[in-house]
Amino acid sequence: MKNKYVRHLDKLLFIVAVLVLLLSNTVKIGKKKVIKANSVTLVFSQWWQDELEYRVLETLIAEFEKTHPGVTVKLDNRSYHEMEDLILNGLNDKIAGFTENFFTADILALDSRWLYGLIQNDMLEPLTRYKEASDFIPALQPTGQENLYDEWTFPLVSFMAPLFYNIDVLSAAGFDRPPKNRTDLIRYAREITDPAAGRYGIGLSLSQGDPHGVYLDIYSWIWASGTVIINQGKPNFTAPEVVDTLEFLNNLYNEKILAPESFSKSREQKLEEFITGKIGMMIASVQDIEIIRKRMGDRGFGITTIPGPDVYLGKPAFGLTNWYAGISRESKHKALAWEFVDFLAKQSPLLAAGSHAVPGSGNGLEEYLKGDSFYSKAYNIYEGGNGIQEFTGYPAVHVLDFIVREEVYNMLHWNQSAQTTAETIQQRWEEVFQNALRFGS
């Protein structure tokens, strides 16, 4: 009963904190201009609501509506899969030549992996002229390839993906620290694995229903080897480090220290296996910390850098994912939609706190990072490592993922060599890139 009251108190305190931060930000910005409109409804299509603390978006929207009399922001709440389908179906319709409106939404929550097709097919409103009129510069600045696409989107929140380890499982196998390199990792996984008990060293979730499965559970291991997957705008899958990583994954499978059914396993199933001690280690997003700690407590698991090859002496590398916001080209209220996007950008620290994001909104070390052992550890990993976000602005990323999933399956289940797997992926990726350049999508 006490725990029940504590949980309710935690939620109440969080809502109070959000309100205090909103008030604080209002004071810092100064008196807000009240913008009048005649009963305008802005539709905001997003998947974020289910990944945020209770009523964060509603609180932000109420604050926006208070300074914009006559404007109502309607939340079109979708799952990530539904949002991706909305984007991809709209994109396919545009390519096919249909002329009707593709999005009923004015503001779109975006994953950077969707940007190429949307921009190539003129489905996002350019934001340059709006940004030039704004006095706000986002702290979370795009870098590298992302710079080519910042005209159409605003980056708001960023997440990293470290290695999670089950402390009880490692301790039972005789280990008092996490693995530091691949040799450690394989040794740990061997000791942990007990098929009779249904326990395995490492778990992957590579089902087609997991939109970030390939990103986390294959690409992360490649980045940890010290290389990138796309080099100077071209696929880099035949690089020696990539081939070695594929061989590493193949060895895990052949030694039967990789949990079975990886290609039918969802993210949720992988998390459940980790929580219940059926797998000892996994790569997951920092967003999953809250899910896990509610079941395991703060002492049941830990996070660390993703182990790379023994010979790799560079910075630890890991993948980053971002939340972006953009405006539909079909919106009838683009100026007001921009006001809302600009407002979200200014309040991005609240989105970061509400989603437990690390590194966060780019506004420095926020309070929730300082006061929490897991998030401060994640931030230290981020500070000492090399965060990588590939695929921003590249074509048909879902197709690229499908190719990798298919060929890695062939390697693990049909004895295709790592070298052949790398060469086949390289060839198929090059065809996707060439087709995108040919058709402009």
Identify the CATH number of the domain in which residue 400 sits.
3.40.190.10
427 in the same domain as 353 = no
Structural domain contains residue 244 = yes
83 in the same domain as 194 = no
Please check the confidence at residue 346 and state whether its pLDDT lies above 50: yes
pLDDT digit string (tens) for 146-172? 556 678 888 899 999 999 999 999 999
- Mean pLDDT of the region 217-239: 96
343 in the same domain as 326 = yes
Distance CA 142, CA 155 (A): 7
Q: What is the pLDDT of residue 145?
A: 55
Residues paired with 73 in a beta bridge? 42
Please check the confidence at residue 3 and state whether its pLDDT lies above 50: no
Task: Please state, as a whole number, how many other Cβ atoms lie within 10 Å of the Cβ of residue 393.
Answer: 21
Residues paired with 74 in a beta bridge? 43
Q: What is the pLDDT of residue 112?
A: 84
- Mean pLDDT of the region 282-289: 97
The whole-model pTM stands at 0.89
Task: Please state, as a whole number, how many other Cβ atoms lie within 10 Å of the Cβ of residue 23.
Answer: 11
Please check the confidence at residue 68 and state whether its pLDDT lies above 70: yes
Q: Are 246 and 411 in contact (CB under 8 A)?
A: yes
266 in the same domain as 214 = yes
150 in the same domain as 30 = yes
Query: What does the block give as tokens for 232?
Result: 């100077």
Q: Which range has highest mean pLDDT (34-48, 105-119, 427-441)?
A: 105-119
405 in the same domain as 265 = yes
156 in the same domain as 272 = no
Structural domain contains residue 205 = yes
Please check the confidence at residue 227 and state whether its pLDDT lies above 50: yes
Question: CA dihedral defined by 288, 289, 292, 294, rounded to 10 degrees?
Answer: -120
Q: Are 329 and 123 in contact (CB under 8 A)?
A: yes
For 354, the domain range is: 2-160+321-377
Token look-up 């590579």 returns: 206
- Mean pLDDT of the region 390-418: 93
